Structure 1
Amino acid sequence: MSRGFDSHFGPPSQPISVAEFLQEANSALLSGSLTNASWEQLTPEYDNAAEAEISGSISELKSSLEQVWDNPVLSAHVLRQHESTVAAVRGQADAPAPKGRKRKRYVAPEGSESAPEVLQLQEKLDAVNLKCWGLTVESALCMRAAKNSDYNALDAPKKTGTGVLRTINHGDVGATRNSTPDSLRSPSPNATSYLNAVISLTVYNRITYLPSCLTRSSQHAVLSTQTLDDLLRVIPCASSNMPIEHLDAEGDISGYNLPDQTGEHSGSLFCIEGLVYGDRSENTDYAEKLIAHFQKLPEGKRPKITKASTSASETAFSALTLRIHQPYWILHQGNCEHFFVIDQIRHGLFHFNSITTLNVICRLAHPSDPPSGYPLMLHLTPTLQDLCRACGKVPAVHSIVGDMRLGESPCLLCAPCWRTMGPPKNDEDVMVVPLVIHP
């Protein structure tokens, strides 16, 4: 059931044109309609007080959270309270015990629960009027242990491309009142060159032992000016790093070399909203191959797709019509499949007076965004690698085939252990195969 939930997307939104979003935003900037009219009716004193209250509330909340988590006694108390609440909910719902290793129980040291700082924190928590976040019996249906795809191998956004974000300087922003918050000001007409739509998307892969289910691989932020091929080049994929075989005169494998990491793909395609964007390589286009394959199916089972007029390297995201929560298919490197979903909603620098679907899929550039390096990698699922069979401590980088000293063939070893083994006596019967380099 958990895998089924993770592989379920939707319901999808209505088709959204990125070009129309940019056009509407450009028109709104020129006309000044992004200014909230209600702010014009307030006095400057009230404006300053409201802005100070908003800024103070966020900083106060952040400070209070940091004070709790930086204090071992308080953070331990909060964790114990959460564990006991979860256990109570599971007991009331008669939910099955989670599989795998049992969670560690937090045992309170003697006297810690009666500490003055703990009692003071609990009084503050009990005084909170917000009750909608409390765990009910129905919450047990959505509880599960953390999976590998929930963790992020990155501690900060990673720059993976050369895209540059055009932003607006605060000096170019004109407002009818200096007290109007930055997020509600209208820029001057000569400041429209900053318009870039930032689109957040998540890439999913098929699970090897459950091909009908998907798991999250990575998350990226791309610019509307970048192409589909720019996205494909930065998607972490083991098939793009497979060692290259070397054949001898008789056609047998004589060795392996690692790829040059140039990002080139031997054929690829994107299937988006019924259009197939191929690579237009010197050989047969991948899009033509796919359509020719579908023509062999019975007419009632043929997917309704057509070849796009442009290739993936010529198609920018600004030329696409997309839907949020709708999986789109990627095929490359022969038979390697990925799916990407437009799914993240983030706040922008300027707001429309009414919430529309256009500012859901994209947002305008914000001064806090990195100025360059797009596409950005926002999330990367940690890779589970095989450990060295000799030391059992570090990931293996070599697969040794035909070495009698190791007791098994192939045998996975790390680089230091293989160097320690020394050269084999009969080099002709031993082959060293480099393992796939994971991002």
Structure 2
Amino acid sequence: MNQRIEYALASEFGPSSEIIDLKKFASEAIALSHSVQNLQADQVSIAQECSVADIQSSLTSVWNSPMLSAYLYRSHDIAIASLHGSTSRLAKTRKKSAVASELYKELEDVQRLRANLDSIPLASWKLMSDAALFTRPPRNADYNTLTAIKTSDTDMDAPSDGIDSQVLITFTSHFKVQWRSSVLSKSSQHILMASQTLGDLFEVMPCVSNECPEELLEHGKVVGYKETNGMHGSSGCVIVINGLAYGDGLNEEDYADKLIQHLKITKSTSAIKKARTTIHDTPLSSVSLQINVPYWLLHQGNCEHFIVIDQIRLKHSKDPVTGYPLTLYQAPASLDLCQACTRIPAVWSIVGDVRLEASPCLLCGPCWQSMGEPTNEDEEVLVLPLPKYKLW
């Protein structure tokens, strides 16, 4: 697949759903779930039809064997490497993998497993050569830094009573990549209750723009920065949904007012109007929402996000009772390498040092330590600590 088409498809959303009234959806879905629960006979028949008990023992025995499971992992990696090596785009920049023709001595159990897999009559069981047109190497957005569902660490839990608290909404946040403004990349995914507000969604969204360290001022001049160990709250935002701009309400003239003023100055034909309520006073249940429709969010000056609803459903008995908003996915942060050694991620941003080729210049700890402090006292050098990240 052409790389330009591939990026364009990854930045498209849809097809969009009809406008969903969450309160109506909740009442109708709860009534439907009660009627379905009464059909015990149908549930038993469906469970028997979808049961995999006949193959569960064989699957468990294979995956519990380190030798057989390693063979399956290795066979899958060989197939994927062959597909990646056969694509025209990758063949120009990478050498073809020769692992597919590698011979090795198989044990009897492995030979028996391979024979059983080869005897499966399903035509789509194995990856065909045509699958190379629909495969790609993993990207940064394909990895999840979370090893478990992350609950909210702030007091944002909505009351458990009420029909709104029975509806869960899955949001995905996207941002523009630095090297091409028309390409979007997934940054995080969250689950909120319909009784929670747009402000709860904004507060739980991670963003590197919120990691800028606080300035240290003396006589109105920046003399340094405070080291930050994580994300702090944003100064405000505006969310545009269905032509209404919901501001933060932190000041008399918030982000929504500034957006409307900007549209008037630029004589834009957009019909965006300011909403009567702010993000912290707007429950999700009071907003008409659509699935697979991107909603625009602006904060920290010019940092843009696009929020997309992936799913609207009722709360299941196995869902967490508290801790909402939940974070299901968080993309790993892209770390800049040291500009001196180009091997280790940078931890310092050096501003105003004439010994360096650029200002600011990103350096790792060992490189900055080996340079030592500036010898010229007249130089005003600022050392800015870069944000620290951790896996959850």
Q: TM-score, normalised by structure 2?
A: 0.82
Offset of residue 96 of structure 1: 4.1
Distance 1:314 1:192 in 2: 17
Distance 1:260 1:119 in 2: 53
Gaps of at least 5 residues in structure 1 are 168-190, 344-360
Specify which of 220, 226, 245 is matched with residue 196 of structure 2: 226
For residues 166-186 of structure 1, give each alpha carbon's deviation from its aligned partner in whole angstroms, at most 9, with x where no partner exists. 89xxxxxxxxxxxxxxxxxxx
1:63 aligns with 2:60: yes
Distance 2:49 2:157 in 1: 33
1:366 aligns with 2:316: yes
Distance 1:203 1:105 in 2: 39
Specify which of 262, 270, 279 is matched with residue 303 of structure 1: 270
Is 204-213 or 420-429 further displaced after alignment? 420-429
SS at structure 2 position matched to 1:201: strand
SS at structure 2 position matched to 1:226: coil
Matched to 2:11, the amino acid is S
For residues 80-103 of structure 1, give each alpha carbon's deviation from its aligned partner in whole angstroms, at most 9, with x where no partner exists. 34544x379x58xxx444564446
Q: CA RMSD of the aligned region, Å? A: 3.7
Distance 2:221 2:143 in 1: 42
Offset of residue 391 of structure 1: 6.3
Aligned to 1:120: 112
Within-5 A mapping of 1:7-86: 7-28=11-32, 32-35=34-37, 37=39, 39-40=40-41, 47=44, 50=47, 54=51, 56=53, 59-60=56-57, 63=60, 66-67=63-64, 71-84=69-82, 86=83
1:153 aligns with 2:169: no
Cα 1:314/1:61, change in 2 over 3 Å? farther
Matched to 2:322, the amino acid is S
Aligned to 2:296: 329
Q: TM-score, normalised by structure 1?
A: 0.74
Cα 1:418/1:140, change in 2 over 3 Å? closer
Offset of residue 332 of structure 1: 0.7
For residues 38-58 of structure 1, give each alpha carbon's deviation from its aligned partner in whole angstroms, at most 9, with x where no partner exists. x4379xxxx499559726368
Aligned to 2:252: 283
Offset of residue 269 of structure 1: 0.7
Distance 2:365 2:172 in 1: 34
Offset of residue 320 of structure 1: 2.1
Distance 2:91 2:318 in 1: 41
Matched to 1:203, the amino acid is S
SS at structure 1 position matched to 2:74: helix
Aligned to 2:386: 435
For residues 188-217 of structure 1, give each alpha carbon's deviation from its aligned partner in whole angstroms, at most 9, with x where no partner exists. xxx987952222221111111211111111
Aligned to 1:412: 362
Within-5 A mapping of 1:95-244: 95-98=88-91, 100-102=93-95, 104-106=97-99, 110-112=103-105, 114-132=106-124, 135=127, 139-162=131-154, 163-164=156-157, 195-244=165-214
Matched to 2:182, the amino acid is S
Offset of residue 62 of structure 1: 5.9
1:385 aligns with 2:354: no
Offset of residue 6 of structure 1: 0.9
Contact preservation (8 Å) 1:98, 1:145: no
For residues 316-370 of structure 1, give each alpha carbon's deviation from its aligned partner in whole angstroms, at most 9, with x where no partner exists. 2222221111111000111110011112xxxxxxxxxxxxxxxxx3222234333
Q: Say how many residue pairs are matched.
A: 383
Distance 1:342 1:68 in 2: 41
Matched to 2:351, the amino acid is V
Distance 1:340 1:22 in 2: 22
Cα 1:147/1:166, change in 2 over 3 Å? same
Distance 1:192 1:127 in 2: 55
Offset of residue 386 of structure 1: 2.0
Offset of residue 426 of structure 1: 4.6
Distance 1:116 1:296 in 2: 77
Offset of residue 61 of structure 1: 7.7
Offset of residue 230 of structure 1: 1.4
SS at structure 2 position matched to 1:294: helix
Cα 1:68/1:278, change in 2 over 3 Å? farther
Distance 1:316 1:159 in 2: 20
Contact preservation (8 Å) 2:11, 2:183: yes
For residues 109-134 of structure 1, give each alpha carbon's deviation from its aligned partner in whole angstroms, at most 9, with x where no partner exists. 6443x532233222322333443455
Matched to 1:268, the amino acid is C
Contact preservation (8 Å) 1:161, 1:376: no
SS at structure 1 position matched to 2:116: helix
Identity fraction in percent:
37
Distance 1:255 1:49 in 2: 65
Aligned to 2:262: 293
Aligned to 1:245: 215
For residues 118-170 of structure 1, give each alpha carbon's deviation from its aligned partner in whole angstroms, at most 9, with x where no partner exists. 33222322333443455456544322222111122222222234455889xxx
Offset of residue 267 of structure 1: 2.4
Gaps of at least 5 residues in structure 2 are none
Distance 2:142 2:357 in 1: 37
